[in-house]
Amino acid sequence: MFASASILLSITTGTLADTVHLKNGDSLSGRLISYEGDVCVFSTPYAMGLTIRTADIGSMQTDHPYEVQFKNGDRASGHLVSESARVTRLSSEIFGEVELKLADIAVLQRNLIEQREPAVARDHIEYGERADPPPLDFLVGSTVLLGPGEYELDMGLVYKQSRRQHNLFDVGYFQKSSYSARVLQFEPTLRAGLFDRLEAHLTVPFSYTSVEDVSSNEYVSTSSAWDLADIGMGIQYQWLDETAAYPALSFTFDIGAPTGRKRYNDAANRWKDPLNNGSGHWSVAPGIAWVRRTDPAILFGGLSYQHFFENTIDGYTVKPGWALRSYLGAGFALNEKLSIGARFSYSYTANLRAGRRTIKGTDIDPADLAFNVSYRLHEDWVISPQVMLGLNDDAGPASMSLNLKRKFN
């Protein structure tokens, strides 16, 4: 199965491949998995995870930028170019082309995002030519994707709908009792690369909610609202780069502001609960996220703790329970324009406290599964449809979303 996936990757990426020239005259073409210490792990369409002694390598060439860590502590970044079977050069935007001695290299680490080449005016791009790195939208929130001075505007649109109904034969053969709620939420998000390894984001969402409660044709209650939802902001710092021993690790810190609508309705008006589009409380959420490449897939995950602060709403002093959130996922960059990803999320929220008293039975543990596709429409535009499926009652109804992203350098 893994060999087939490697062959498929080789086909979809055309001539994109890394090359290792051995001192005995052999050459291998495929993908460099890791290069650290005295061992190089290399994958080809015919075998996965070949282990090669670095002392047996004469020269190397890569089709992706790599960060080179030298044994003396220096670092450089760029493409490796094999000039001959025994000579390797580093092609860097900063240093130009310089010759490398493989014996001086401690670690080679592939950059998650390729550096964009300077724009060149051309009438067309040849079929199969790589113009931009693949969209890696499934990694948003799991690692730092923007460099210093880069900005991204994400115009997200989410729709979810819930309905239940049953017949009322005692009132009329065709009469129905039903309850439906529809939510359309616009979630514009601005992400910015502040410094090296540091990224920030700000989300200002708006939602339109429509609720209809039908007891019969004679008793129909409807309500709708267009409101600002809770504003979210946060930062992400990439702490560790990925090596052969451990994944790339980053720290996250998110803040939620109670700008949305929050009401604790009485029993007679409980049907209006879906009109709430906010928590009603300030919150902070520190967390950790990781990314691990295992060609042709990228694995990712994260864990965060969310703390809510006490607030008085509708005369009640309320403090929601703490929340522990986690997720695991995998993504595939199929080519320079298309990638797919899947993500499983699970969280637990403890019982809330009202009037200094813990309210039993208010804890929840939703689980859901999301699938998304990202397609590069243009050099700086990416569209990403997503479907999220609730796996239990606490997760609520399924939702569909569409994200259109514009990147600014």
Domain positions in the chain are 2-110, 137-408
pTM of the full structure: 0.69
CATH 2.40.160.40 fits 137-408, yes or no: yes
State residue 94's pLDDT score. 62
pLDDT in tens, 283-295: 999 999 999 988 7
State residue 3's pLDDT score. 36
State residue 123's pLDDT score. 41
State residue 354's pLDDT score. 92
Give pLDDT < 50 ranges for the chain.
1-16, 114-131
State residue 392's pLDDT score. 94
- Provide the 10 A C-beta neighbour count for residue 98: 11
pLDDT in tens, 182-236: 999 999 999 999 988 999 999 999 999 999 999 888 888 999 999 999 999 999 9
Token pair 């930028």 is at which residue?
65
Distance CA 344, CA 331 (A): 12
pLDDT in tens, 122-167: 344 343 344 467 888 899 999 999 988 899 999 999 999 989 888 8
Burial level of 152, CB count in 10 A (0-12/13-18/19+)? Answer: buried
Preceding amide of 274 cis, omega within 30: no
Q: Using alpha carbons only, how large is the chain's radius of gyration in Å? A: 26
Q: Are 60 and 21 in contact (CB under 8 A)?
A: yes
